[in-house]
Structure 1
Amino acid sequence: MKTLRGVVFFLIAAIGCSLAIAASAQDKKPTLTVERIYADPPLSGELPDRILWLPDSKGISYLIEREIDGEKKTLFAIRDVPFGEEKIICIPDTFAVPEDLKKSDDDKFSFGGYIWSEVGRMIVFRHKGDVFTFDRTTGTLERRTQTEDTETNVTFSPDGSMVAYTRENDLYMMDLDNRERRITTTGADTLLNGILNWVYMEELFTRGNRRAYWWAPNSRAIAFMELNDGSVPEFPLVDLIPTHGSVEMQRYPKAGDPNPRVRVGVYDLESEELYWIDPLAGEDAYIARVYWLSDSKRLAIEKLNRDQNELVLLFADYRAGAWEQILTETDSTWVSVDYMKHYYETKSRFVWTSERDGYAQLYLYNLNGKLIRRLTNGPWEVVALDGVDEKQGDIYYTALEKSLLERHLYKVSEKGKKMRRLTQLSGSHAVRFSPDHRFYIDYFSNTETPTQATVHDAQGKHLFKLWEDPPEELASYDLPAPEIFTMTSVQGISYQCSMIKPTHFDPGKKYPVIIYTYGGPNAQLVRNRWGGSLYLWHAMMAERGYIIFSLDNRGAFGKGRIWENPIYKRLGQLELHDQLAGVDYLKSLPFVDASRIGIWGWSYGGYMTCLALFKTPDVFKAGAAVAPVADFRLYDTIYTERYMKRPEDNEEAYNEGAPINFVENLKGAFLLVHGTADDNVHMQSSIVLAEKLIEAGKDFDLMLYPGKMHGIRGKAARTHLFNKITTFFEENL
């Protein structure tokens, strides 16, 4: 009887143990891997592509991929506003690719980069370098150009009767009867008409958008910039993959080099005459912005001096050949250039942005340059001018008024009164208003919520969601949330910081720390927003037992010019000082292993990583620098001289801020990474660093990504890169 009882007890215990193990297995969360982070479908979800308002504000168009009959198809669709009903306009994949553009039988047609005509009936876009239009009312696809050369920068005229584009560095236009008109004839490798060169695109205008022409509101004239690169030195971008290799020569002015010469021209369609506007922007000045005034006779041109501490707004009458100075912005350091301007269509006034009191704020002027009134006021930054409803007299903008860490939409009247916040959810909002300003799309995220797009009316009322929900898989991971806090140094300086602690954090243990830094001017790492794949990789490293820490040093965006200006003429010095204050804070925490602190960053963050390892070698055990600047003499004129002036005028600071001058101090493990086709921070920086490290007898790891540019994009490359960095820290920290 005793034996039987023992057997029964043993069986019950065994069954209970098995059930517990099974339950534990079910409760166990999956762990992140680099492969999953960069695989499809994205864990953060995926918004539709090319989301645009219809010109009549009655709908939102987009491209979205869906499965149809077991096959993925790209759909061109429109959601009705305000009701949100979706209508499929067509399936671009089903259009036949012209035989002369087809490279394989698998080629599919694409509407990528499409733009609406003003009447909202037709879109224009490029496919394989040629211009096409699609009429949504008839379903007709029409090929507009068929040339060996590539057309770029395609737009409709405001009245929808013509399209303009660039080809071989010249500007063209075509009516809808396919009659082409060549506007300029001087295009060459060193002379660009209607096209930005690299440094203007990267540092003054919009990254990725090289269009440098603008239609007059009445569609009867077109203004453009002519950039003469003849005096700009060339830099070789070498492709070593082909059997015999190839070289592309890039016009790239490095700090102190001659700049492109720029001037503004206007082509008048009625007279068929080309007018040039003086004053010109020679090598020692920049044309920073060009806008049309509502009369279609005058242009608003922003001219910036080479030192970038004086910006002049000019109004130019292109036919009369006359111009007048409207207002001037000056600063003892630099004047910021932005897109937060609006020239009224119905009134003789404009909205202007200035940092004259230390923060970016909005001002209302008349066309004579007389200040009417200040529209916003406070110790916080305006970050975007989202729309001006001229009929209702309301101005919409995004600002940091609620929190330095968040972005919210506000409305204020033209009288500068009745300021109201329209977005309520805590986090970061970026909005896009409908043309009539009755609705807006809100792109929202916070540290725990991937980006979602919702549609609202102008009072902030939610109408419908536009995004596809993130995969349910994301919720299955036990992701550690970033903690955002303020740290005050022993010198009394307060810094915004973020920390991701290891999963199942135990305050009684000691953990290694990886500092993620950027550190450059006008950037902000610590924000209440979703961090995408980078956050997921940091979360993965936290799962593996690392603390991830970031700090926004002086020079970072958001706290006004009093916080930004101290880095002027001494890049790399105060930023490193502040990052070391963060290290002191980390060392004060009982759960931090002070002997195992690492650092990594990309671009300016790579530069900061090099400075940290080379100038404070006893602080950091390991560091990974991706696409770093080795010496600001090797970087471009506009960015570098904005903060450092020319090398001959600030030689000591250039030397003190150059990582190549301190490589002999390296003690920790160092991983150096670069894309061989980087046209932003040239691979030259990493090659020069490697040479100096070898001469100093220092051991380091070098990883090059063939054919990759500054962002080292592509699933395979990103997967390899982050596996490389993961292994590096696991082996050395």
Structure 2
Amino acid sequence: MARTTTSYAPLTQADIDGPDNDVPVLNDAGLAQAWSSTSPRNDSRDRPPTYYGEGAWEVVDGIAAVDEDRGLVYFLAANPTPAEKHLFSVPIPSAGAAPTPSEPKALTDTSTPSYYNAAFSPKAGFYILSYRGPAVPWQNVYKVDNSTFEYQLTENKKLNETLSTFRTPSVNWMTIESDGYELSALEIRPPGMDDTGHTKYPVLFRVYGGPTYNIVSYQFNVDWHWYLACAANLKYIIVMVDGRGTMYRGRKLRNPVRGNLGYYESRDQVNAAKIWAAKRYVDSRRIGIWGWSYGGYMSLKVAELGAGVHSLAMSVAPVVDWRFYDSIYTERYMNTLPLNPEGYDKAAVNNVTAFADIDFLLAHGSGDDNVHFANSAHLLDMFTQHKIRNYRFRMFTDSDHSIYTRGANRELHEWMTDFLYEKWGKGGQLYLAAVRTRQPAPEVEGEVLSASLERGRDPLENEFHGAGDLTMLSTCPLNRENRKFLEAFLDMELPACSSAVYILSSNSPTVPLIACAISP
């Protein structure tokens, strides 16, 4: 592959005098900031840029508008946190003024974490402000020189009414640390989740992880992940983490992946999974990861690491080897193959032996117009060579990268949901509350109901290695009488959220025990 060079035509005086030169460039920390190359006018084009506003944040999507009459520049920034987007203005420096950055003025309420977009009129006299979350989105028109002017375009009243009739998940935004880097993270919790540790939940990480692309934000979004969190037979926790290579934290976080795609991003996902595995409400045996496109590639790289923290991975339309992907994207981050052959080798999925230790699902459209089907074909060939057999695969005939042909998108998500339920079962499962070595089994007062446990799925069975099988003796509702009796027998206070108690016994004659398990 021959190397190519790109040359740029020098700026003309018209370029310098016009307002279109006001674009974000990187400061010394690699943060995109609003700047001007021409303050004062007609100065040398070799002059260092004059920043309009500067801080530990980045401009998003370029300059929103320039108001020459009022001497203002408008821009959206990932400020105060990288997961937010607010509208700001700064004055244009006057000719001859000292090149000192001004403090940006917020035009949206930065005291409340939010995400906005804005579109200005040609002369920046009016703008449409689009509130995108975290609550239900709305749109208003504002006038820059009249604080009382407000015209409502969209309220989304029906959506608010519809949502009020449902229990929705709780969404928590936070930061975590991975190898000394601060990362943005988001956790979607089932409605009414018990976080005391009495109930254990599986965690599914949704990953993208591609360079300069963030998925953790305060935008309102109802999708499949909400269903996984809310469905009565599921109740899974969903986690998203923006690792190294993503935006809005400067060059330090963005640049490590250059020439080495897949290495640091996958380690950030593993480190995040270890953090969640240590949480008291998480079932560390049911932690998985899934992604699409670059996210599918990330799922593969995490599985390849074989770190022992993930028991499940799902990959949709993944890159497997960057030699199979388009050069304009690949060479932007990996350079050309002749100049970085070792980087290409390391970035590819090469070692599939760890896939034998997890539950794995793979899907790809046969007509993928972005990530060629050859990627998944190559992965399947490696599975054959290494006798990896414990996986599911589906090819969606004629579907492109979005996998929509002939109802394929819904079928894909229902298939993945079934796969999760088959491997994990219900999210918040029974847990071991207490064990007493006392026989015979206590007679439970109050109403006694018959019940059964799903063997092979319930974590209770795994608590008694070498102790023999558990036998269900009885189950009872946790009414006042039963609560009083069981608390006295177990010598412990039962959590207030409990609703039923299962009394179990070991079949092993050498380990006489009574176990009490509580259902939230």
Same fold flag (TM > 0.5) = yes
Shift of 1:643: 1.5
Which among 249, 271, 279 is matched to residue 589 of structure 1?
279
Give 1:557 shift: 0.9
Q: After superposition, where does 1:111-130 map in structure 2 within 5 Å?
A: none
Aligned residue among 374, 386, 389 for 2:51: 374
Letter in 2 for 1:362: A
2:38 corresponds to 1:351? no
Aligned to 1:726: 417
Structure 1 position 534, deviation (Å): 4.5
Name whichever structure is richer in helix by fraction.
Answer: 2
| Structure 1 residue 702 corresponds to structure 2 residue 390 | no
Match of 2:83 among 405, 410, 413: 405
Q: Structure 1 residues 349 and 638 mapped into 2: Cα distance closer, same or farther (>3 Å)?
A: closer
Q: Show the 5 A alignment for 1:19-418.
A: 257=1, 284-285=4-5, 303=7, 312=8, 314-315=10-11, 347=18, 350-357=21-28, 358-366=30-38, 369-371=45-47, 373-383=50-60, 384-415=62-93, 417=102
Aligned to 1:454: 140
Task: Name the CA distance, whole Å, in 1 between partners of 2:176 and 2:359.
Answer: 28
- Note if contact 2:319-2:371 (Cα within 8 Å) is conserved in structure 1: yes
What is the one-letter code of the residue matched to 2:136? P
Change (3 A) 1:615 1:487: same
Q: Distance in 2 between matches of 1:723 and 1:568?
A: 36
Alignment of 1:478-517 (within 5 A): 478-489=167-178, 491-506=179-194, 507=196, 508-517=198-207
Residue from 623, 628, 634 that aligns with 2:313:
623
**SS of 1:466 mapped into structure 2:** strand
Aligned residue number for residue 498 of structure 2: none
Cα deviation for residue 313 of structure 1 reads 5.6
SS at match of 2:362: strand
CA 1:532/1:510 → structure 2, altered by over 3 Å: closer, same or farther? closer
AA aligned opposite 2:37? Y
- SS of the residue corresponding to residue 351 of structure 2 reads helix
Query: Match of 1:722, as an amino acid?
Result: H
Residue 122 of structure 2 corresponds to residue 435 of structure 1: yes
Q: 1:419 aligns with which of 104, 120, 135?
A: 104
Matches of 2:130 and 2:406 in 1, distance apart?
A: 25
Q: Percent identity?
A: 30
Name the SS of the counterpart of 1:662 in structure 2.
coil
Determine the C-alpha separation between the residues in 2 that align with 1:442 and 1:671: 41
Cα 1:422–1:445 change in 2 (3 A) is same
Question: Separation in 2 of the partners of 1:687 and 1:343?
Answer: 50
AA aligned to 1:601 is: G
1-side partners of 2:184 and 2:23: how far apart?
30
Distance 2:281 2:72 in 1: 52
Structure (1/2) with the larger strand percentage: 1
Contact 1:394–1:413 under 8 Å retained in 2: yes
Q: Please say if residues 181 and 253 of structure 2, whose CA atoms lie closer than 8 Å, have aligned partners that are also in contact.
A: no
Does the 8 Å contact 2:54/2:102 carry over to 1?
no
Name the CA distance, whole Å, in 2 between partners of 1:704 and 1:724.
12
Does the 8 A contact of 2:169 with 2:230 survive in 1? Answer: no
> CA offsets, 1:553-588, max 9 Å, x none?
111111001111111211111111111111111121
Over 3 Å counting, the alpha-carbon distance change for 1:454 and 1:347 in structure 2 is same
For these two proteins, the number of residue pairs brought into alignment is 401
Q: Against the structure 1 CA distance between its residues 503 and 355, is the aligned structure 2 distance closer, same or farther, given a 3 Å change threshold?
A: same
What's 2:263 paired with? Answer: 573
| TM-score, length-scaled by structure 1 | 0.52
Deviation at 1:664, TM superposition (A): 2.6
Alignment of 1:556-571 (within 5 A): 556-571=246-261
Q: Does 1:690 align with 2:361?
A: no
Q: Distance in 2 between matches of 1:662 and 1:356?
A: 40
On the 8 A contact 1:349/1:365 being kept in 2, the answer is no
1:561 to 1:541, Cα distance in 2 relative to 1, 3 A? farther
Which residue of the partner structure matches residue 228 of structure 1? none
Q: 1:373 to 1:652 in 2, by over 3 A?
A: closer
Give the distance between the partners of 2:24 and 2:182, measured in 1 at CA: 27
SS at match of 2:131: strand
Residue 422 of structure 1 aligns to which amino acid in structure 2? L
The whole-number CA distance in structure 1 between the counterparts of 2:176 and 2:224 is 23
1:499-524 Cα distance to aligned partner (Å, 9 max, x none): 11222212211111111111111011
Separation (CA, whole Å) in 1 of partners of 2:211 and 2:18: 37
Question: Using the alignment, how far apart are the partners of 2:18 and 2:190 within structure 1?
Answer: 57
Q: Which amino acid aligns with 2:139?
A: A
Quote how far apart the aligned CAs of 1:386 are.
Answer: 0.4
Q: Is the 8 A contact 2:77 2:88 kept in 1?
A: yes
Task: Note the residue ranges of structure 2 that are not aligned, 5 or more in a row.
Answer: 94-100, 425-520
- The one-letter amino acid paired with 1:408 is H
Question: Aligned equivalents of 2:301 and 2:220: distance in 1?
Answer: 28
* 1:650–1:609 Cα change, 3 Å: same
* 8 Å Cα contact 1:501-1:542 kept in structure 2: no
Which amino acid is the alignment partner of residue 406 of structure 1? Answer: E
The residue aligned with 2:482 is: none
2:191, 2:410 → 1: CA distance? Answer: 23
- Render the CA deviation track for 1:607-639: whole Å, top value 9, x for unaligned: 000111122163321111111100111112122
Letter in structure 1 aligned against 2:107: L
AA at the equivalent of 1:727: D
Q: Is the 8 A contact 2:277 2:287 kept in 1?
A: no
Measured after TM superposition, the shift of residue 650 of structure 1 is 1.9
- Counterpart of 2:370 in structure 1 is 680
State whether residues 291 and 299 of structure 2, in contact with CA within 8 Å, keep that contact through their aligned partners in structure 1: yes
Distance 1:626 1:527, change over 3 A: same
Contact 2:213 2:247 in 1 (8 A): yes
Q: How far apart are residue 702 of structure 1 and its match? A: 1.6
Partner-residue secondary structure (3-state), 2:37: strand
Shift of 1:703: 1.8
Q: Could you say what the CA RMSD is over the residues aligned between the two structures, in angstroms?
A: 2.5
The CA deviation at 1:538 is 4.5
Task: Supply the AA of the counterpart residue of 2:92.
Answer: E
Counterpart contact for 1:516–1:550, Cα < 8 Å = yes
Taking the aligned partners of 2:227 and 2:20, their CA distance within structure 1 comes to 48
By how many angstroms is 1:658 displaced?
A: 1.1
- What CA distance in whole angstroms lies between the structure 2 residues aligned with 1:580 and 1:523? 19
The Cα shift of 1:353 comes to: 2.5
Quote how far apart the aligned CAs of 1:704 are.
Answer: 2.1
Change (3 A) 1:347 1:579: closer
Task: Select between 347-356 and 500-509 the one with higher mean Cα deviation.
Answer: 347-356
Give the Cα–Cα distance (whole angstroms) in 1 for the partners of residues 295 and 271 of structure 2.
Answer: 17
**Contact in 2 for aligned 1:427/1:528 (Cα 8 Å):** yes
